[in-house]
Copies of this chain bind each other. A is one copy, B any other.
Amino acid sequence: MATMIDVANRANVSIATVSRVLNGMKNVDPEMARRVQEAVAELQYEPNYTARNLRCRESRTLIILTPNITNLYYSNIIAGIAHGAQEHGYSYFLFNTEGKRELEEQILDRLEKRQADGAILLGAELGANWIQKYADQYPIVQCSEFDPSYNIPHVSIDNYQAARDAVEYLIGKGHTRIGTVSSNNRFFSSVERMRGFRDALTDAGLTVNEEYIRYAAWDNFKASSKAAYSLLKGQDHPTALFCISDILALGAIASAKELGLRVPEDISVIGFDDVEYTTMFHPYVTTVVQPCYEIGYHALDLVCNMIRRKDVPKTTVLQHHLVFRESVAVLPTDTE
Residues of chain A touching chain B, judged by Cβ–Cβ distance below 8 Å, are 1, 46-51, 53-54, 59, 61, 68-70, 72, 75-76, 78-79, 82-83, 86, 91-96, 109, 112-115, 221, 250-251, 254, 257, 276-277, 279-282
- The interface residues of chain B lying within 8 Å CB-to-CB of A96 are 78-79, 82-83, 86
CA distance A49 to B54 in the complex (A): 9
Copies of this chain in its oligomeric complex: 2
Are A69's CB and B59's CB within 8 A? Answer: no
- CB of B113 within 8 A of CB of A48, answer yes
Kindly list chain B residues whose C-beta atoms are within 8 Å of the C-beta of A95: 82, 86, 91
Tell me, in angstroms, the Cα distance from A82 to B103 when the chains sit together: 13
A1 to chain B, nearest CB (A): 6
**CB-CB under 8 A for A280 and B282, given A79-B69, A92-B94, A93-B93:** no
Query: In the complex, which residues of chain B have a beta carbon less than 8 angstroms from the beta carbon of A221?
Result: 276, 279-280
Pair A113/B280 contact, Cβ less than 8 Å: no
Having A48-B113, A86-B95, A92-B93, one finds 16 other A-B pairs with CB under 8 Å, namely A1-B112, A46-B113, A50-B54, A54-B54, A68-B79, A70-B72, A70-B75, A82-B95, A82-B96, A91-B93, A91-B95, A92-B94, A94-B94, A250-B281, A254-B282, A280-B281
How long is the Cα–Cα vector from A47 to B113 in the complex, in angstroms?
Answer: 8
* Chain B: minimal CB distance from A96 (Å): 4
Contacts of A250 in B (CB 8 A): 280-281
Contact B276 A254 (CB under 8 A): no
- Is A257 a contact partner of B280 (Cβ separation < 8 A)? no
Which B residues are in CB contact (< 8 Å) with A254? Answer: 280-282
> What is the bound-complex CA distance between A72 and B71, given in angstroms?
8
Determine the distance from Cα of A151 to Cα of B53 in the docked complex, in whole angstroms: 35
Give Cα A53–Cα B254 distance, bound, in whole angstroms.
53
Docked pose: A114 CA to B109 CA in angstroms: 22
5 sampled A-B residue pairs with Cβ under 8 A? A47-B113, A61-B93, A70-B75, A82-B94, A277-B280
Q: How far is the CA of A281 from the CA of B250 in the complex (A)?
A: 9
Which B residues are in CB contact (< 8 Å) with A82?
A: 69, 94-96
List residues of chain B with CB within 8 A of the CB of A50.
50, 53-54, 59, 113-115
A91 to chain B, nearest CB (A): 5
Which B residues touch A83, using CB under 8 A? 96
Q: How far is the CB of A99 from chain B (nearest CB, A)?
A: 14
Contact check: which of B49, B109, B277 meets A277 at CB < 8 Å? B277
**Contact A76 B72, CB 8 Å, known A93-B92, A115-B49:** no
Docked pose: A91 CA to B83 CA in angstroms: 20
- Across-interface contacts of A257 in B (CB, < 8 A): 282
Query: Looking at the complex, which one of B53, B61, B69, B76 makes contact with A78 (CB distance below 8 Å)?
Result: B69
A113 / chain B contacts, CB cutoff of 8 Å: 1, 46-50
A78 CA to B95 CA, complexed, in Å: 10
With the chains together, A296 CA to B209 CA distance in Å?
Answer: 47
Point out the residues of chain B lying under 8 angstroms from A49, CB to CB.
113, 115
Across the two chains, which residue of chain B brings its CB closest to A112? Answer: B1
Taking CB atoms, residues of chain B closer than 8 Å to A47 are 113
